[in-house]
Amino acid sequence: MTAAGSTQWLWFVSRGSGLVLFVLLSIVVTLGIAARTGAAPRTWRRFTTAELHRSLALFAVAFLALHVVTAVLDPYVSIGWWATFVPFVSPYRTAALGAGALVVDLGAAVVASSLLRDRLGYRAWRLVHWAAYAAWPIALVHALKAGNDLAIGWVAVLVWGSAALVATAVVARVLDGLRPHAEAPAR
């Protein structure tokens, strides 16, 4: 086995974990919107959507770690650890990997604010949590530009299907925001 062949598994794990991560991130964003708008299936209790959102978000963090570690360790290209956190410093596909680093940074802010939610207060947590709305389209740019896997049919279906899912959820969220809501009765 050649030296390149002995580390090819890093490439496969990095690509696979990145794809699973993107799908998970799309589901997490969609569930977050569903929890906010109350658009979850009628058979679910309200906390089910929020708990699934939180659990899958933590699962996504694990896939993010796996994706980053395997991408940095893969000797085929030299990405470097700094490029994981500092946007636009990687010499390899600078814009695409810079977008990935932005997603890592925004995701870290969302996770940190969620862990500190009780200390931050709801308003501060919610403000930081809005970073997820910025992180998702940047993750889409990263998914579209970092690799060349979109030529594979099932990969394109997963990426564009995830994009359609999030776009539908965002449109529903915007429409929900435009709809007049009943005010809570005064006490």
Q: How much is the pLDDT for 4?
A: 52
For residue 41, pLDDT over 80 is answered with: no
CA gap 177, 171 in Å, rounded: 10
Range of the domain at 22: 3-178
Residue 30 structure tokens = 């969609």
Q: What angle do CA 16, 20, 21 make, to 5 degrees?
A: 110
Q: How much is the pLDDT for 1?
A: 47
Which of 24 and 78 is assigned the larger pLDDT? 24
Query: Domain for residue 142, yes or no?
Result: yes
CA atoms within 13 A on the CB side of 76: 15
Which of 106 and 176 is assigned the larger pLDDT? 106
CA gap 136, 32 in Å, rounded: 12
> Structure pTM?
0.84
Query: Domain for residue 187, yes or no?
Result: no
For 47-93, write each residue's pLDDT tens digit: 788 888 888 988 999 999 999 999 999 888 888 888 888 999 988 88
Query: Domain for residue 184, yes or no?
Result: no
Residue 176: pLDDT band (50, 70, 90) is confident
- Identity of residue 29: V
Query: Domain for residue 118, yes or no?
Result: yes
CA gap 160, 73 in Å, rounded: 28
Question: pLDDT above 70 covers what percent of the chain?
Answer: 94
Query: Domain for residue 183, yes or no?
Result: no
Q: How much is the pLDDT for 99?
A: 93
Query: Domain for residue 67, yes or no?
Result: yes
Residues 6 or more apart whose CB falls under 8 angstroms from that of 138 comprise 99, 102, 103, 106
Query: Domain for residue 16, yes or no?
Result: yes
Length of the chain as a residue count: 187
Q: How many domains are there within the chain?
A: 1
For 143-159, write each residue's pLDDT tens digit: 999 877 888 899 999 99
